[in-house]
Structure 1
Amino acid sequence: MANYPLLLATAVAHSVLSLGHTAKGIEQAKHVSLKQVPALLRGTLVAGWYEGSVFFAIIAVLNYKWSTTGLVDGPDKILATLVSALLFGFGANYARIGDKPTAVTLALVGALQALGAKGAAL
């Protein structure tokens, strides 16, 4: 049972981010311009993209846990703060390069993360 529903919603949001990030990575990895990039760099880019997808899945699981326990200690609070900062930072980067839908999505999930964490800090 979720004692902190905003963190449960954040867990769902991160799950959706993980799936969307994977789908976008598959699509972008097929871009013809990547065939001109050296194989090592291309492989690194693709691997990094999937690492990001797994990161979102890990954060989804962590938020699910927090939705039942709250943020019980300093490391929990630091992790939640870092995740929010990461989402806002990458959202700003996507806005800078003109990908507004991704920027808005990351900003919304970052805000949900921050609000959920604030409400669950014990």
Structure 2
Amino acid sequence: MEKHTTDAGAINMHDEMRRAFGLLSGKWKLEIMWLLHQRVFRFGELRKAIPGITQHMLTVQLRELEADGLVLRTIFPEVPLRVEYEITAKARGLTPTLEALMAWWQEFGDTLPARPEGRGRKANITKKTAR
């Protein structure tokens, strides 16, 4: 891709696209955005919906998405405290992109090699044998 810089004030689309990619880069951000595109989630629901993500990583990714204006965090002053996450109107602008990715996957997904499930921490279950 060429850098289109004709004068000092011109927009460099390569740099702009790098900024756009950076908003959604990270191991979990696209999956979080996909889920929030479907409906509003509470933190625990998101954690259960994303196998392998740790509580810490989900918190980090949600905070970054919130800081970038893509996720809205709403706190309800109830006992126990209820916190909900949803995508913003700005993030809804990504709907055509998510739909295009889904269409691409439906067409080509079964032609791609399967990857082993290696994401996140796995439970360390040890079985004690009876003596």
**TM-score over 0.5 for the pair:** no
Q: TM-score w.r.t. structure 1 length?
A: 0.28
Q: TM-score w.r.t. structure 2 length?
A: 0.27
Q: Which has the higher strand share?
A: 2
Q: Considering only CA atoms, is the larger Rg found in Structure 1 or Structure 2?
A: 2
Q: Which has the higher helix share?
A: 1
- Higher RCO, 1 vs 2 (CA within 8 Å, ≥6 residues apart): 1
